[in-house]
Amino acid sequence: MTTTLTESTAEQRPIAGLKQAILGIGYLRIKEMLSSKSLLAVFGVSMLLILITFITVASGNAGQFQIWMFHLFALRFVPLMCLERAGGSLRNEIKDYTIEYLWTRSPKKSHLVIAEYISSVIVTSFRVFIFTTLIHATGWYLETPDILPMFGKILIIELFAILAYSALAMLIGLLTGKYMILGVIYGLIVEVGISQVPLNLNKISVSHHLATIMGGPSSLAYTHPGASPIMGALGCIVIAAIGLSVACILFSNKQYRTGNDKEG
Amino acid sequence: MNYIVQAKELSCFYGMVLGLNNVSFNIGPGITGLVGPNGAGKSTLIKLMTGQIKPSSGELLVFGQKPWNNPQILSQIGYCPEHEYVHKEMLPLDWLRSLAMLSGIPFGKAQSISREVLKTVKLSEQHWKKKIGSYSKGMRQRVKLAQAILHEPELIILDEPMNGLDPMGRQEIGNILKDLKNSGIHVIISSHILHELESLCNDFVMLNWGRALASGRQSKIRKEIKNWSEQIAIRTNQPQQLAQHLINLDTLKGYLVEGEELIIWLKQPETFYQKWPEYLADCDAEVYDVQNKSQTLTSLFERIAQ
């Protein structure tokens, strides 16, 4: 008699869940982050940022330091770091064929996305913390006033920036292999607000919410001076949740072909 | 019989490109070979079995369930891809540990299991402190095989695992697979080099141009072929005389003489093998070597592909 191995006859095994996915992917990414190649890159960027701080900030000028730290580093450099890190996390695995070792295991694909997101947030936060500390140390050396309160505030803003931008980057990375180009276009239109965006789309941008958390006078044209920082933080969290949810749905249902950008 | 994999009218297309076209077969326990030339559809079938892609039409069941987005099935499968790509910057133990945790093995146990599987695939300890990126092809194949057996799967699927290995490496991988089979693990292995699989597999699925030509045991496949005649090559000092002798005994469908070699096509192989010593005793020819040419998987595949 011919039978099939059905659910009842095949051994029922424990299935790895979200916790196992986070542990597995987290361990992989942290080990990669601690590789000599990666640490060398962090060292190189650190030196570059210190140099830029020396060039752009005059001794004792808090205004110049804030423009460099918040408007350039937190609002421009950190999003690019998120785009490179989170956008490339799963996409580069797909391009390099190594995704086959990950998605043929038992965690759900949505769990892989969440695990990669958390790993990206941790890795990017670690790097951003190093860079921010070094830039502030340089600012302290240049005798910038009120450097310590600004350090704490910037770290909080950067954390929300990383949470929101990493989720958006993850989504963009799963949409296309050319995620850096699409991410920069998105950034120029929505975040920077180049040209008149229809329906004032940039009012819901992450930059807008970060500026709201920052508070005080800002050169960003689309901030609401009276808005609460808590609303800004909530806005970032909502954007992160939406971006991550859509990324999970996309990765679970789309058929990706490894090694190239053609997808069915 | 319990089937591990069942395909029914299975098709898979990549846009306009054909991957598999309306194939039906069953794969039972043990070691099964997926054979066929490059582009036959072996890798597509493997991607379908490991839940990496969805069928365009038809049905594919692994352990009675569809593998796409099915964690229960994926937890029972170990997969070793064809390509050489790995996380190059990682040390093998770190890489295996992360993949073990991803398969649900606790952090503490992941380290000891990773060590065990590296020993199982016979990667010597002196290489454990080197990055995987610095490994030779054979060493990478071993690490790739190690990650496939980490979580003690019931089914291991290997896509061209012998590619680029030297003969000793092939034999060692073959021995590891036999050991796995003996420990009750089912193995599906693909190769375009048919003789590699001959000694390893009990069953075969033969693919060509996205179609399943035949499946099952070699002997069963042979029986299903109409007008199949066994072909034997005999090296002798008197090929013409021996051929004439066998013709007179009405045992041959035909023959061909090439130098010292006589190639014969048998009418009734079983009778021929029984009476072969008698035939030889009645003839003056000295026979140096006898080879059954049609018993090879290559000849069977060529015959079916015709």
Structure tokens at A125: 């936060």
Decide which of A216 and B241 is more confident: B241
pLDDT confidence of residue A202: 66
**Percent of chain B scored above 70 by pLDDT?**
93
Rounded to two decimals, the ipTM of the complex is 0.84
The average pLDDT across B68-85 equals 92
List, by residue range, all CATH 3.40.50.300 domains of chain B.
5-223
Structure tokens at B133: 């990126």
B91: confidence class by pLDDT, cuts 50, 70, 90: very high
Q: Collapsing DSSP states into helix, strand and coil, what is residue B59?
A: strand
pLDDT confidence of residue A264: 38
Burial class (CB in 10 A: 0-12, 13-18, 19+), A35: middle
Structure tokens at B163: 């590619």
Pair B255, B264: CB distance under 8 Å: yes
The average pLDDT across B60-84 equals 93
B61: confidence class by pLDDT, cuts 50, 70, 90: very high
- The CA distance from B144 to B83, in Å, is 10
Q: What is the mean pLDDT of each run of 10 residues along chain A (264 residues)?
A: 44 78 95 91 96 89 88 93 95 92 94 97 96 95 88 94 96 94 91 68 81 67 65 93 97 83 43
- The CA distance from A68 to B174, in Å, is 61
Residue B167's H or E segment, with its range, is helix B167-182
Q: Is A113 on the interface with B (CB under 8 A)?
A: no
**Most B-contacting residue of A25, A27, A258 (CB-CB within 10 A), to test interface:** A27
pLDDT confidence of residue B267: 79
**How far B233 CA sits from the closest chain A CA (Å)?**
39
The average pLDDT across B194-213 equals 83
Interior angle at CA B213, CA B209 and CA B217, nearest 5:
140
**Would you call B79 and A104 a contact, using CB atoms and an 8 Å cutoff?**
yes
Sequence-distant (6+) residues with CB within 8 A of B77 are A104, B49, B50, B51, B62, B67, B153, B154, B155, B156, B157
- The CA distance from B238 to B245, in Å, is 11
What b/e sequence results for A212-242 when a residue is b if at least 16 CB atoms lie within 10 Å of its CB, and e otherwise?
bbbeeebebebbeeebebeebbebbeebbee
List, by residue range, all CATH 3.30.70 domains of chain B.
231-305
Most confident region among A212-226, A238-252, B81-95, B203-217 by mean pLDDT: A238-252
pTM above 0.80, yes or no: yes
Structure tokens at B55: 């069928």
User: Which candidate, B103, B3, B9, B149, places its Cα nearest to that of B63?
Assistant: B3
Contacting B residues, span 56-95, partner chain A, CB-CB under 8 Å: 61, 63-65, 69, 71-72, 74-77, 79, 81, 83, 85-87, 89-91, 94-95
pLDDT confidence of residue B255: 86
- The CA distance from A193 to A219, in Å, is 13
The average pLDDT across B266-283 equals 81
DSSP state of B306: -
Per-residue pLDDT of B175-185, as tens digits, reads: 888 898 899 99
- The CA distance from B163 to B145, in Å, is 13
- Decide yes or no: CATH 3.40.50.300 for domain B5-223: yes
Decide which of A15 and B105 is more confident: B105
pLDDT confidence of residue A263: 45
Give the lowest-confidence range in B9-18, B77-86, B89-98: B9-18
Residue of B nearest to A6 (CA): B64
pLDDT confidence of residue B132: 92
Sequence-distant (6+) residues with CB within 8 A of A52 are A68
Structure tokens at B132: 């995987």
The arrangement of secondary structure in B231-305, i.e. its CATH architecture, is 2-Layer Sandwich (3.30)
The average pLDDT across B231-255 equals 86
pLDDT at B202 over 90: no
Taking only Cα atoms into account, the Rg of chain B, rounded to an integer number of angstroms, comes to 23
